[in-house]
Amino acid sequence: MGAGLIGALVGLGVAAADLALLRLLAARVELPETKRVLNITGLSQLVLLPIVGFFVAPLIAGE
């Protein structure tokens, strides 16, 4: 398993944890606009963090 794949999996794990926490926060907020922004932020991180991890991990690992 290459460093890029490991970085993508770590990014996916971090993004999934962050999505769960942002959803918990969105449940406590009263304004619907804020709820929408928190949910969109979590979903965008679910896409972006694995991509960033895929490209950054080989740089850190020296591959």
Task: Please give the pLDDT value at position 5.
Answer: 96
Closest CA to 53 of 5, 17, 2: 5
Task: Please give the pLDDT value at position 1.
Answer: 86
Task: Please give the pLDDT value at position 63.
Answer: 78
Task: Please give the pLDDT value at position 4.
Answer: 93
Residue range of the domain that includes 20: 3-61
Residue range 2-46, pLDDT digits in tens: 999 999 999 999 999 999 999 999 999 999 999 999 999 999 999
Q: Which of the pair, 20 or 62, is modelled with greater confidence?
A: 20
Phi-psi sector, 62: left (phi>0), alpha (psi -120 to 50), beta: left
pLDDT over threshold 90, residue 62: no
Number of folded domains in the chain? Answer: 1
Name every residue whose Cβ is closer than 8 Å to that of residue 38 and which is 6 or more positions away in sequence.
22, 23, 25, 26, 29
